[in-house]
Amino acid sequence: MKMLPVLLFVAAAPAALCSPGGVPENVTRIQVDPTVIEQPENVKEPVAANLVRYNLRAAIMDARFEEGDSPIRAHIVLEEFFWESKAKRMTVDLGTGVRTGTVEGRLVIQDASGKELSSVKIHMRGSVAFSPGEGNNTQGRQATSDFEKLLIREIESLK
């Protein structure tokens, strides 16, 4: 009879280590790997890969993880990226300085062996670049692009 509780504990232990999203619990640090571009013909902006990686790094920290060397890795698989035309920016945004972009891809979380723990589809149209003029809060850093805000929501839903 004493074997039964031990077996139940061993069987339940793996489930206790992972959240429903597949990301291990008790993770405090995530390593952000370079952006992967699957279809270069759909990503014509030379800064796109670095820009989405910068947003992912900021979102990781805003979701209360440390960013750095870790067995848990995150990256964006960028499928499409483009900015709105200058003519549309001038008529729609009326010279506000906000640059609207479209991002399509996936947020991928992997373990140290490269096994995919989570893959979340991303489709976003809005601000992608850092805009220091948004908000008057000078005390703390706020998420300043629509893309970063989307990534924060997705990362927090994986906890």
Q: What is the pLDDT of residue 14?
A: 36
Q: Mutual orientation of helices 146-157 and 48-62 as an angle, nearest 10°?
A: 50
Q: What is the pLDDT of residue 126?
A: 85
Q: Kind and range of the H or E element at 107?
A: strand 100-110
Domains and CATH numbers, the chain: 27-157 (3.40.50)
Interatomic CA distance for residues 43 and 82, integer angstroms: 7
Confidence of residue 6 (pLDDT cuts 50, 70, 90): very low
Contact 56, 74 (CB under 8 A): yes
Q: What is the pLDDT of residue 8?
A: 34
pLDDT digits 0-9 by tens, 92-126: 555 555 678 899 999 999 999 999 999 999 999 88
Q: What is the pLDDT of residue 61?
A: 93
Q: Kind and range of the H or E element at 103?
A: strand 100-110
